[in-house]
Structure 1
Amino acid sequence: MTTSTSKTVGRRAFLAGSAAMLGAPALAQSVNGDGTVEIERDISKIVRRNVSSFRSLDWRPYFSNLNNGAILVDTTSRALHYWSEDRSTYKLYPTSVPLTEDLTRRGRTRIVLKDPEPDWRPTPSMKQRNPEWPDYVPPGPDNPLGTRALHLSWTYYRIHGTHDTRKIGRRSSNGCIGLYNEHIEQLYELANVGTQVLLI
């Protein structure tokens, strides 16, 4: 009898503990009072990530048409939205965004070049901030631009992949918009030279 009682108590304690753990994120969000962010603990710092703003959107408030397709990058929710010209395809991807406001550019641009094997050179300002960085990185697993890159009409700005998946969902770039490699490969096939892009 003692054995079955301890098993029952043990199972009840486990279930109660599990329920408390499952309820903790909701409680933490309501205590935070924001409701749209979760706190993620990094080894070096606390990173605020937007959660509930990552949702599907309609293209109409942002574009007058879908000629050549359209890409909306929301730097607040850290999300990239893609709509095809014929409206048959809609994609929503998590992104990395620039580290700081002074590195963040907003406005309308377009894709001017699709690069299937991007190589990388730091911009002069990057090199000034990080003189230890290499002058050139060829295509491959060490390339900061990942497996594909979509060059924008703004000099040095791209939507590209990354091999460092920890960067996605964070403020982690020097100005570009980063995607998981599998997502940039999908977007690369969908988007065209001339696809309109809006960063907000």
Structure 2
Amino acid sequence: MSKSNITRRSALILGAGALGTLAAPAIAATPLAPVRRNASSFKTQAWQDHFQTLGSGAIICDTDSRALHYWNADGTDYRVFPTSVPMTDELTRRGYTKIVRKKVGPTWTPTANMRKRDPSLPAFMPAGADNPLGTHAMYLTWPAYLIHGTHDTRKIGRRSSSGCIGLYNQMIEELYDITPVGMQVLIL
């Protein structure tokens, strides 16, 4: 009996090639399913549909399209940012609120409900690279609801938060710089 010259690597390559050849007709005959991507599908928003006046400006957080819409006080600056949104409808607070406080380098204290869902969460987390609030945070009139950054960029465009609206860190920094305390906010 002769010894075979097939190595483990060549067997894997041959096997993959054969599998691809055998599977190709089946794949071609199967209709393609839509692909879900980690990106927002923005819907156009008009501030006039939701606010009587712009006042100091307006923010609309659209949880369906996973986008934050920003207008300055005179409506000449309109920006749209991709966001993360709450994981479930139960965690989503909807309605009118406003920015009451802003913080660079926010600290994080998970709520009792967050720690109940995930007991591994710390009781407190200082500002820094591991902090889930990212580099900047804007606090709303509702306790524990924020618009903030995130270091975990995989969350943007997804239902991934415990109630907050999350943005890429560079985008929350941009929004933070142009948003005054007192700005009106609507979460849809």
| Range into which the TM-score falls when normalised by the shorter chain | 0.7 to 0.9
Q: Do residues 39 (structure 1) and 36 (structure 2) align?
A: yes
Q: Please report how far the alpha carbon of residue 91 of structure 1 lies from its aligned counterpart in structure 2 after TM superposition.
A: 0.8
Secondary structure of the corresponding residue to residue 102 of structure 2: strand
Report the AA paired with residue 167 of structure 1: K
> What fraction of aligned residue pairs are identical, expressed as a percent?
53
**Pairing 1:69-108 to 2, within 5 Å after superposition:** 69-108=57-96
Partner of 1:169: 157
Indicate conservation of the 8 Å contact 1:50/1:76, yes or no.
no
What secondary structure is seen at the aligned counterpart in 2 of 1:166? helix
* Counterparts of 2:63 and 2:46, CA distance in 1: 17
Q: Which residue number in structure 1 is paired with residue 27 of structure 2?
A: none
> Which structure's CA Rg is the greater one?
2
1:9-33 deviations in Å (ceiling 9; x for gaps):
xxxxxxxxxxxxxxxxxx95xx75x
Aligned partner of 1:178 among 144, 166, 183: 166
RMSD: 1.7
Cα distance in 1, alignment partners of residues 43 and 91 from structure 2: 25
**How much has 1:128 moved relative to structure 2?**
1.2
Task: Name the structure 2 match of 1:6.
Answer: none
2:76 aligned partner, one-letter code: S
| Amino acid in the other structure paired with 1:39 | R
State the shift of 1:132 in Å. 1.2
TM-score of the pair, normalised by structure 1: 0.75
- CA deviation vs aligned residue, 1:156-194 (integer Å, no higher than 9, x gap): 000000000000000000000000001100100111110
**TM-superposed deviation, 1:129:** 1.2
Q: Secondary structure of 2:81's match?
A: strand
Note the residue ranges of structure 1 that are not aligned, 5 or more in a row.
Answer: 1-26, 33-37, 41-46
Distance of aligned partners of 1:87 and 1:181 in 2 relative to their CA distance in 1, 3 Å threshold: same
One-letter amino acid of the counterpart of residue 135, structure 2: T
Give the Cα–Cα distance (whole angstroms) in 2 for the partners of residues 69 and 77 of structure 1: 21
Q: Does 1:113 align with 2:110?
A: no
Higher RCO by CA contacts (8 Å cutoff, separation 6 or greater): 2
Counterpart position of 2:19:
none
Once the two structures are superposed, the pairs formed by residues 10-159 of structure 1 within 5 Å of their partners are: 38-40=35-37, 51=41, 54-159=42-147
TM-score computed with the length of structure 2 as normaliser: 0.80
- Amino acid in the other structure paired with 1:131: P
Q: Secondary structure at the match of 2:49?
A: coil
Contact kept, 8 Å, 1:140 with 1:147, in 2: the verdict is yes
The answer to whether the aligner puts 1:188 opposite 2:184 as a matched pair is no
Distance in 1 (alpha carbons) for counterparts of 2:133 and 2:84 = 12
**CA separation of 1:166 and 1:195: change in aligned 2, threshold 3 A:** same
User: Cα distance, 1:55 vs. partner?
Assistant: 4.1
| Secondary structure of the corresponding residue to residue 193 of structure 1 | coil
